[in-house]
Chain A
Amino acid sequence: MPFNIAKLLENQKKNILELWMKNQLEDEGLREDLITNEELRAQSEELVGSLVANIGAGGSTDLDGDNWSPVIEILGGIAITRARQGFSPRETGKFVYSLKEAILEVLQEQIGDDPKMLFEESRKINRIMDGLTVVTFETFIKGREEVILRQTDEIAEISTPVIRVWDGILALPIIGTLDSQRTQIVMENLLQEIVDTGSSIAILDISGVPAVDSLVAQHLIKTVSATRLMGAECIISGIRPEIAQTVVHLGIDLSSIITKSSLASALAYAFRTLRLEVRKQVVQNK
């Protein structure tokens, strides 16, 4: 009678799950803060069930086959959830590796008296589990990348507020590095706001920009020129002494741009241009 691994695994499903759970719970790196034991159990049970059913159905070890897609889907789902929950790659990897351990242990128990068959079956299991591990990692990394992309978008969106400081004066504090993509967003927001509010002066505050190199300077010059084309004036403020040094050392010509050291002096300049006056109230003592 030929040995039927599918049947064996089917019978031992419960054992495998228990063993796997034991392995996972015993592990020092168990993250009870991120996932409850019940949830972990549910995840594990689903995966074992689907895996065993699949080995029984086809017996093919080729993971590209269609019959593996449900397992891969479940595993992918788990990996993505873990990526979002903040599991480390090591913890996610261990999740799958410990399943392999459990299956091999059960195999050893059941057919340990036939070394040749044990070797054959172990190899098969190994191949399947290794493939699944790779899939897990791919999905895990994809999940992480999605998180990073989303955060980048969020940062780009929240970090370019255009503030109306006065009637006809806009301020735009830039925090963080200016790359081409951000310059584009900054420029679009600023120009649109100029049209919407009919402002004639825009103040670009760069005190939150960590460093200005020739590329960043070029982006700044672009923004200023575009503002000028719209018919508004653009002042760059918040230039720190170190930045002034770098700009001059790099030989960047900012002479065509109005620059002020602080937002306050830029605002004062804007008031002068608009012929506005801010005065301290004189209190008359009687």
Chain B
Amino acid sequence: MDKIPILRMGNFLLVTIQVDLYDRLALNLEADLVQMVNKTSARGVLIDISAVSIVDSFMGRIIGNIASMSKILDAETVVVGMQPAVAITLIELGLPLNGVHTALNVERGMKRLQEMIGPVQEDDDEIAPEDDSFAE
């Protein structure tokens, strides 16, 4: 079965969706991602959807859900690389994704996350207790 890889980059999780999402895949991604955020106590989630050309209301809702769930787990979500057609479709479907941050490409998305979360401390991983207190 297909699985969308979730990559860890320091404090952030990077998800690159390379295939068109069908419903089951999207639901799995949602579950996996929340698990991963919890496990790694990531501070940011970056979802790259530049390869996604088809979107429906379900997919729009899943993205919104991921953002809200991550927010509860204290992680910001940035969706990057949305295609113009996808953006127009989502708007026409009445899903402006208000809780989700957006950026034009992965590079800017990373910058945006770093600005939101503050300077990345290189030694975050080693100093576990400080990390925990930060999360609370």
Query: A and B bound?
Result: yes
**A contact set with B: CB distance below 8 Å:** 184, 187-188, 191-192, 194-195, 198, 200, 222, 225-232
Residue B97 at the chain A interface, CB threshold 8 Å: yes
Contact of A229 among B102, B105, B109 (CB under 8 A): B102
Q: Is A231 a contact partner of B109 (Cβ separation < 8 A)?
A: yes
Residue B88 at the chain A interface, CB threshold 8 Å: yes
Stretch at the interface among B4-12, B17-25, B31-39, B79-87: B79-87
CB of A42 to closest CB in B, whole Å: 52
Q: Is A191 a contact partner of B88 (Cβ separation < 8 A)?
A: yes
Chain B's closest residue to A256 (CB) is B98
Chain B's closest residue to A228 (CB) is B102
Q: Is B96 a contact partner of A198 (Cβ separation < 8 A)?
A: no
Q: Is B96 a contact partner of A225 (Cβ separation < 8 A)?
A: yes
Q: A192-B84, A195-B84 are in contact. Are A231 and B104 (CB under 8 A)?
A: yes
**B contact set with A: CB distance below 8 Å:** 79-84, 86-88, 90-92, 96-97, 102-105, 108-109
The A interface, classified by DSSP as helix, strand, loop or mixed, is helix
Query: B residues within 8 A CB of A232?
Result: 104
22 contacts between A and B (CB under 8 A): A184-B88, A187-B84, A188-B84, A194-B104, A195-B84, A198-B105, A200-B108, A225-B91, A226-B84, A226-B87, A227-B87, A228-B96, A229-B82, A229-B87, A229-B90, A229-B91, A229-B96, A229-B102, A230-B87, A231-B81, A231-B109, A232-B104
CB of A258 to closest CB in B, whole Å: 15
Q: Is A231 a contact partner of B88 (Cβ separation < 8 A)?
A: no
CB of B19 to closest CB in A, whole Å: 21
The B interface, classified by DSSP as helix, strand, loop or mixed, is mixed
Contact of A198 among B82, B102, B104 (CB under 8 A): B104
Q: A187-B88, A192-B84, A200-B108 are in contact. Are A231 and B96 (CB under 8 A)?
A: no
Query: B residues within 8 A CB of A229?
Result: 79, 82, 86-87, 90-91, 96-97, 102
A70 to B57, CA, bound (A): 55
Q: Is B104 a contact partner of A226 (Cβ separation < 8 A)?
A: no
CB of B57 to closest CB in A, whole Å: 14
CB of A158 to closest CB in B, whole Å: 21
Query: B residues within 8 A CB of A222?
Result: 91-92
Chain A's closest residue to B101 (CB) is A231
Q: Is A231 a contact partner of B82 (Cβ separation < 8 A)?
A: yes
Chain A's closest residue to B96 (CB) is A225
Chain B's closest residue to A193 (CB) is B84
Chain A's closest residue to B86 (CB) is A229
Q: Is A191 a contact partner of B87 (Cβ separation < 8 A)?
A: yes
Which of B84, B90, B102, B104 has the most chain A CB within a 10 Å cutoff? B84
CB of B82 to closest CB in A, whole Å: 5
Q: Is A231 a contact partner of B80 (Cβ separation < 8 A)?
A: yes
Query: A residues within 8 A CB of B88?
Result: 184, 187-188, 191, 226
Chain B's closest residue to A195 (CB) is B84
CB of B62 to closest CB in A, whole Å: 15
CB of B46 to closest CB in A, whole Å: 12
